[in-house]
Amino acid sequence: LLYNAPFVADYAAGANLDAQVALGDEIAAVEPHFRGVSYGFIPYDPLRMQRLFKYEDVVYQPEKDAHEMGLMKTIYLYNKVINEVKGLTEGSEQDRKILIAQAKASRAWTNFLMINYYGLPYKESGAANDPGFPIITEADVTATSFKRASVKEVYDFILDDLTTAIPDLPAPLANRYIMSGTAAKALLGKVYMFMGKFSEALPFLNEAIDNVTGASIPLQLYDYNLTFGVGGSFLPIGAFGPVYPNATNNAENLYTKQFTNYWSFTNNEFVLTPQAFALFRNSDLRLKFFSNIPYSASTPYPHGLNRRIGPISVLFGVMLPDLYLLRAECRARLNDLTGGKADVEALRRKRMPVAEAAVPDIIAADRIALVKFILEERIREFAVQGYRWFDMRRLSVDPEFSSTVGYTHVLYKEDGGTTSFTLRPERFALRFAQKLISQNPGMENNP
């Protein structure tokens, strides 16, 4: 049951968890595509994404369910396992402990995503008072009344799930769809980083990376110098981008959660901003995932704009490139500049010719400059895949690096002009859909 339900790992069209793609500051939009004129062959509701891109308060029509609430199915399933497996007599006690631990760690991943959708970014001075997300521990489909816990309470619940689960989780990675001890430690380190607790995060990030070599299935960074070289496995590059491994076979994937990314597939309205595109060197092989021509068109975008082409599915469970960059940032923040430089270069050597991969000395010797470089590396690695929105949230409350967050979206119009939309701090938390609020009288919504 825990692994056979398709919605557990794969969020498809009906409950697509793609809001974060439209929210990132590395994204721009282009007419006429933004109006919904061209959406390939995918059944699609453009109004939702237009509202997200414009940072509007109301995203869903009153009768609509929020896509993001599709996660509640997984919380129900994890709660059922956690609460009922302990009473079973089949299997060994150790097997039951492992199953409960896997469900707890998976529940933690889900609640971490939900609090990053609906709660304000974690800030020590306000987390105890900021409304977060309901903490649900029972598998009760008849429940209709939910109360929001504070942001701090939700994070404490996530930490408790992970810290109690890890001792019972087999550390070596053996299945990308099942939470391992390695993936859980990586997630725990990431949660601490999103709380701004870098000293607490580093040991878990270290343990996770140390455990990578013990995996019983392939687990390593792809070397784009090889995969895009002559006869490389990512070739040929077609209309939907390079040939890219699926979740089951992806050697960079520690724990599978994925969603369909229409903006690396057939949709043309969202492109990379010129500023984000300028972060890439010409030798960066990640540029092979971009095109200056809209899907099913022959005329390039205006203004030198580029859209993403592939992979069609975004893997965002626990990923090895994310793990390396999180540790690089953590080390640099804690003044281990040598370690931070080593981690970011370990990734860069796999993404461009080795001769181009070194961090410039003047940057590597300066703590602030190195952290900013690593944050920009995260944009280069995960552009138009939704990761940036979650980085923006945590950085927005970081006194040292809040200036790295952009608050403006630009829409390029057909007449050559532009329209801008401004992100207000309260919109770092999405509002709950009106349908859910109406069904739960007394439940507080975000401003």
Q: What average pLDDT values come out for the chain (447 residues) when binned by 10 residues?
A: 52 67 98 73 72 97 92 93 86 91 97 98 98 94 85 99 98 94 98 99 98 95 99 97 97 96 93 98 98 94 96 97 99 99 99 99 99 99 99 98 99 96 98 94 92
What pLDDT does 43 receive? 47
Answer whether 204's CB lies under 8 Å from 186's CB: yes
What pLDDT does 143 receive? 76
Q: Which CATH class is domain 6-224+315-439?
A: mainly alpha
What pLDDT does 411 receive? 98
What pLDDT does 139 receive? 87
Count CB-CB contacts under 10 A for residue 301.
19
Answer whether 418's CB lies under 8 Å from 409's CB: no
Give CA–CA dist 108/255, Å, rounded.
13
What pLDDT does 3 receive? 56
Count CB-CB contacts under 10 A for residue 37.
11
Task: Quote helix, strand, coil % in the chain, to nearest 5.
Answer: 45, 10, 45
- Among all chains, which residue has been given the structure tokens 């369909």? 260
pTM: predicted TM-score of the whole model, two decimal places: 0.95
The structure tokens listed for 114 are 């939900």
Q: What is the secondary structure of 4-65 as a DSSP string?
A: T-GGGTEE-GGG---HHHHH-TTEEEETTGGGTS--TTS---HHHHHHHHTT-S--S-TTPP
Give CA–CA dist 377/359, Å, rounded.
11
437 sits in which H/E element:
helix 434-439
- Residue-range domain boundaries for the chain: 6-224+315-439
What pLDDT does 6 receive? 47
What pLDDT does 44 receive? 61
What SS3 class is residue 166?
helix
Encoded amino acid at 421, one letter: F
